[in-house]
Amino acid sequence: MGNNLSSDEANRQRNHPQSYAQSSSHHSHQPLSFNYSDKSNAKPPHDFVVVKNPQRHRERNMAPSARAAPRQQSQSRQRNRSAGGNELNCPTCSAPFGVNIFQCGQGHSSCVLCKSQDRSCGICGMALTDMRNYLLEDYVSQTKGNCPHAEDGCKLVLKVSDIETHIRECPFKIQTCPLDPEYETCVWSGKLKELSNHFERYHRERWLERKGDNVQEMQLNNVVSSCSQVYLIVQGFFNFLFFLQVSEINREVYMAVQLIGTKHSAEKWIYEIHLYNKNQSRKKYTFTDNCTSNVECIKDVFDSKRCAVLPLAYINSFVNNGSVTFKVFVKSLYERKPLNSNTDSNQAGRVGN
């Protein structure tokens, strides 16, 4: 029983002998620390999932190594069970290897979490050194795994080396209410699929649910003083944010639409803003551009003017009964349907792609 991990390690060495070569030329490298600067509860790369051989893994879970640190066992076994099992696990904690892998004095490999917690090698008990196993890191980074938010609906399968980048923009991570202090104050956080309900309940005046071809008419009442507004547009399975900002200082109005999703996904969407005056049927302003991803700070989008920019004097020429009337359309570039149709259930598969 106590030899389980050792024999696994031996099997792996047989399967990928070159991966286990010591990289002594990199001996002086310091361990890299992961930097998760976004506000989400993104999981560390330690949890990256590499599904290879579920059956074999279940067997291992039933007979955990006596050498693994007891306080780690239940946690890592749980993680592995939800991961569906895999071969490329750290022999010290049994969780999947992350991006950085460190070696003990004998050349056995352990993950960065074990290294950062000063654990000793799960195979021989020696201390983990700063020596990285670059060949094994290369091998692990080229293997593919599910997004850590797979259980919440993210269908992406990515190279382990790309997962860290992806989880920063994964739409299935925990979202915070876009009506943050810059706009209004709301401290809600939750899953993307709960965001629409949250708006319906708490920010109904900012909630634009699109059904059929109905595109709501919106009104901006005060076109003189500075203000910022954000609306949630729910279209089919997709969620968009429409931002509007009136800047007294610049004497300009900025408008843009962002997809709550990855940059890659946002490139597949465009938005159109129609500004009109009901009393002057021939006067109309139309603006079209690509949606950006909400990963980009909207302030940067406005500052770099990658959005609709209207001089205050011009937008004032649309004022009718004290307010400006406009509509915001969102359209998929891959949809041969009338603007704003939202009945295509196939869209579900495109979320997060």
Residues in touch with Zn ion (CB under 5 A): 90, 92-93, 104, 106, 108, 110-111, 114, 121, 123-124, 126, 147, 149, 154, 170, 177, 179, 186, 188
Q: Distances in Å between the alpha carbon of 230 and those of 62, 158, 182, 260?
A: 51, 32, 10, 13
Task: Tell me how far, at minimum, the Cβ of 170 lies from Zn ion, in Å.
Answer: 3
Q: For Zn ion, which is the closer residue by CB, 90 or 256?
A: 90
**Tokens representing 209?**
């649910």
Task: Tell me how far, at minimum, the Cβ of 15 lies from Zn ion, in Å.
Answer: 18
Q: For Zn ion, which is the closer residue by CB, 179 or 310?
A: 179
Give the count of beta carbons closer than 10 Å to the beta carbon of residue 121.
23
* Separation of alpha carbons 39 and 176, rounded Å: 8
Q: For Zn ion, which is the closer residue by CB, 94 or 340?
A: 94
Task: Tell me how far, at minimum, the Cβ of 154 lies from Zn ion, in Å.
Answer: 3
* Separation of alpha carbons 234 and 209, rounded Å: 5
Q: For Zn ion, which is the closer residue by CB, 100 or 110?
A: 110
Q: For Zn ion, which is the closer residue by CB, 188 or 285?
A: 188
Task: Tell me how far, at minimum, the Cβ of 34 lies from Zn ion, in Å.
Answer: 14
The gap from C-alpha 80 to its chain's centroid, in whole angstroms, comes to: 22
C-alpha distance across the termini of the chain, in Å:
43
Task: Tell me how far, at minimum, the Cβ of 74 lies from Zn ion, in Å.
Answer: 15
- The residues with which 254 forms a beta bridge, in sequence order, are 245, 309
Nearest partner of 257 among 203, 306, 199, 196, judged by Cα: 306
Percent of residues in the chain assigned helix, strand, coil, to nearest 5: 30, 25, 40
Residue with tokens 């099992």: 85
* Separation of alpha carbons 252 and 310, rounded Å: 5
* Separation of alpha carbons 230 and 176, rounded Å: 14
CB 203 within 8 A of CB 232: yes
Task: Tell me how far, at minimum, the Cβ of 258 lies from Zn ion, in Å.
Answer: 16
Task: Tell me how far, at minimum, the Cβ of 253 lies from Zn ion, in Å.
Answer: 24
Task: Tell me how far, at minimum, the Cβ of 69 lies from Zn ion, in Å.
Answer: 10
Q: For Zn ion, which is the closer residue by CB, 163 or 324?
A: 163
Q: For Zn ion, which is the closer residue by CB, 269 or 318?
A: 269
- The residues with which 240 forms a beta bridge, in sequence order, are 233, 259
Any residues with CB less than 8 A from the CB of 236 and at least 6 apart, and which?
A: 210, 342, 343, 344, 345, 347
Q: For Zn ion, which is the closer residue by CB, 34 or 188?
A: 188
Across the beta sheet with 128-132, the strand order is 109-111, 101-104, 128-132
Q: For Zn ion, which is the closer residue by CB, 46 or 331?
A: 46
Task: Tell me how far, at minimum, the Cβ of 93 lies from Zn ion, in Å.
Answer: 3
Q: Is 26 helix (H, G, I), strand (E, B) or coil?
A: helix
Angle at Cα 255 formed by Cα 250 and Cα 260, nearest 5°?
Answer: 135
